[in-house]
Amino acid sequence: MCLLIAVLVIASEVGLRIYGLGQWIVYEENSRYEYFQIANLNFDRFGHHYSTNSLGMRASPEIDKRGIRILKFGDSVLNGGAKVSDENNVTSLVSDSLSKLVIENTILNISSGSWGTENAFEYLQDHKELNPDFIVLVFSSHDYSDNMHFKNVVGNHPNWPNEQPHCAIDDLWSKWLKYKLGEVFNYRFEELHYLDNVIDTGMSPGWNKFHFYAQDNDIPMLVYLHPEQEEIEKGRWKLNGQKLIRWFDENGISYVDGLEQGYLTNSYEDNIHLNAKGHKSIAQNIFPSLLNSIRSKK
């Protein structure tokens, strides 16, 4: 019996590793911008390659001054997570398109799950050596009021582990199966309540901070407003998306309306997150405006 159990455990471990479990995105806390991925991640998960550079940036080159430097800021949509390979990430696709036009560039993907503009701006302030030539923000309606709360999620919430799993079986249990069983038995784990009683209604200060920073430093800034699948189905932005568009217009901020531009069929993984086709859609949608901004500055 013990031998049979050992064989089943080993077979399960091997099978889960073949499927893509055993490594995941690891985070570290930060007193200024809550958290970020750790540096130098490099693994395959579910058939997709995920890597970070020496500053924890997703699918980004090492920091050098090669051509124009474009900083892209966003949350899990821009990051792509482990379901979008490095080469299919919107940042890589836009960089490739610029290179084909012989426009030397370095595009940095500065994003993390559940970030808002406040997190992103604080990262920029903490890394002033990045010295951007252009800034691109990729956010959604709900990010209108997405603020930092420092809820100590790193290492305590399944979305922000602080170390690799012990094995693929541990990966399956601690990131998925444990919580699925909780749903079956109508039990919600305490760590999932981290934003209970937090109600954000006002505009996040990060929006104005980015706006004034770009103005004061004469840096062109472009915003890409990414729609939820629900907004696409209804054909209109939610109230906070409408508020953002009014704010863009009132302040003369260049933006691309993702709802107006549209997406390739079957681009969504869920209500908001995208697969490789979705990242290709954003790259196609944003490229004309970014290229025009680059050519206008020359």
Q: In the prediction, which pLDDT does 283 show?
A: 98
Check whether 298 has a pLDDT greater than 80: no
Per residue in 208-218, pLDDT (tens digit) is 999 999 999 99
The CATH number assigned to the domain with range 31-149+198-297 reads 3.40.50.1110
Q: In the prediction, which pLDDT does 197 show?
A: 83
By DSSP bridging, strand 134-140 and strand 254-257 are unpaired
Straight-line distance from the first to the last Cα atom of the chain, in angstroms, rounded to the nearest whole number: 73
Check whether 179 has a pLDDT greater than 80: yes
Where does the chain have alpha helices with state H?
A: 2-19, 76-79, 90-100, 117-126, 168-172, 178-184, 205-216, 229-234, 239-250, 258-261, 276-297
pLDDT band at 156 (very low <50, low <70, confident <90, very high): very high
The chain-wide mean pLDDT, for the chain, equals 94
Between residues 46 and 261, the one the model is more confident about: 261
Per residue in 228-279, pLDDT (tens digit) is 999 999 999 999 999 999 999 999 999 999 999 999 999 999 999 999 999 9
Q: Are 35 and 113 in contact (CB under 8 A)?
A: no
Q: In the prediction, which pLDDT does 230 show?
A: 97
Q: In the prediction, which pLDDT does 3 show?
A: 74
Q: In the prediction, which pLDDT does 293 show?
A: 95
Q: In the prediction, which pLDDT does 204 show?
A: 98
Q: Which amino acid makes up residue 116? A: G
pLDDT band at 20 (very low <50, low <70, confident <90, very high): confident
Predicted TM-score (pTM) of this structure: 0.95
What count of other Cβ atoms lies within 10 Å of the Cβ of residue 89?
A: 28
